């Protein structure tokens, strides 16, 4: 066999090999894609079946109880550090609002208390935590709910001019907003139960 025939034979084998592999690649890719799609559908269907069979559990744990954002955030920061690095910003002329709650009188009101304060009173945050609600609450006007690291939700009712948004973290003593008039509503709730104002803050 001549050298030219050997070279021609090698080229022929190479071309056949390349054509075979080109046919196999799409076939393997398609099989993998179908397998992954089927697995995804199975997982989704199993999830739907579990949710339907445990509907009462889902309603009880998700819709009737608050997810304790502040506790989760505190735990994560303690063991893994903050996701966002803290960058100190120095502003020499900056004034810091750091006040305690003051009021002229206090009366029981619905599930909490009604405080008589000065007009357009600047509301201090009573406990550090995460804002888990901001909007209208029947009987309390515009309300902001801050969930503390101990799992207690503190409702601030009749609030206006707040710069905070949902899921913002607020420090104790910081300015939450101001009252619309001379009334501030405070409600304390933990694990679905309403707490007494005097008993809760007596711990401090």
pLDDT tens by residue, 158-170: 999 888 988 999 9
Percent of the chain exceeding pLDDT 70 equals 62
The pLDDT, as a whole number, for residue 150 is 84
The pLDDT, as a whole number, for residue 93 is 42
Mean pLDDT of the chain: 76
The pLDDT, as a whole number, for residue 156 is 95
Q: How far apart are CA 105 and CA 68, in angstroms?
A: 32
Are 154 and 129 a contacting pair, CB within 8 Å?
yes
Model confidence at 89, pLDDT cuts 50, 70, 90, reads very low
pLDDT tens by residue, 97-122: 667 888 999 999 999 999 999 999 99
pLDDT reading at 192 higher than 70: yes
How far, in Å, are 46, 93, 185 from residue 159 at the CA level?
Answer: 45, 28, 9
pLDDT reading at 61 higher than 80: no
- pTM here? 0.56
The pLDDT, as a whole number, for residue 43 is 83
Q: Which residues contact 3 (CB under 8 A, 6 or more apart)?
A: none
The pLDDT, as a whole number, for residue 55 is 57
pLDDT tens by residue, 33-48: 788 888 888 888 887 7
The pLDDT, as a whole number, for residue 27 is 63
Torsion angle in degrees (nearest 10) through CA of 195, 196, 201, 203: -80
Q: Which of 100, 103, 124, 99 is nearest to 113 (CA)?
A: 103
Q: Which residues contact 88 (CB under 8 A, 6 or more apart)?
A: none
């Amino acid at each position: 066999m001549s050298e030219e025939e050997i070279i021609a034979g090698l080229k022929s084998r190479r071309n056949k090999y390349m054509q075979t592999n080109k046919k196999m690649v799409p076939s393997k890719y398609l099989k993998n894609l179908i397998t992954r799609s089927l697995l995804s559908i199975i997982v989704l269907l199993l999830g739907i079946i579990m949710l339907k069979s445990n509907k009462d559990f889902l309603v009880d744990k998700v819709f009737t109880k608050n997810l304790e954002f502040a506790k989760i955030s505190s735990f994560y920061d303690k063991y893994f550090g903050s996701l966002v690095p803290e960058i100190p910003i120095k502003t020499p002329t900056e004034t810091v609002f750091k006040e305690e709650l003051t009021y002229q009188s206090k009366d029981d009101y619905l599930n909490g208390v009604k405080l008589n304060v000065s007009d357009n009173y600047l509301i201090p945050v009573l406990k550090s935590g995460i804002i888990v609600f901001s909007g209208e609450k029947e009987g309390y006007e515009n309300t902001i709910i801050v969930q503390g690291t101990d799992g207690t939700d503190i409702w601030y009712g009749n609030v206006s001019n707040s710069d905070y948004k949902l899921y913002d973290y607020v420090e104790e003593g910081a300015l939450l907003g101001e009252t619309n008039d001379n009334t501030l509503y405070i409600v304390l709730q933990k694990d679905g139960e309403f707490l007494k104002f005097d008993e809760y803050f007596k711990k401090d």
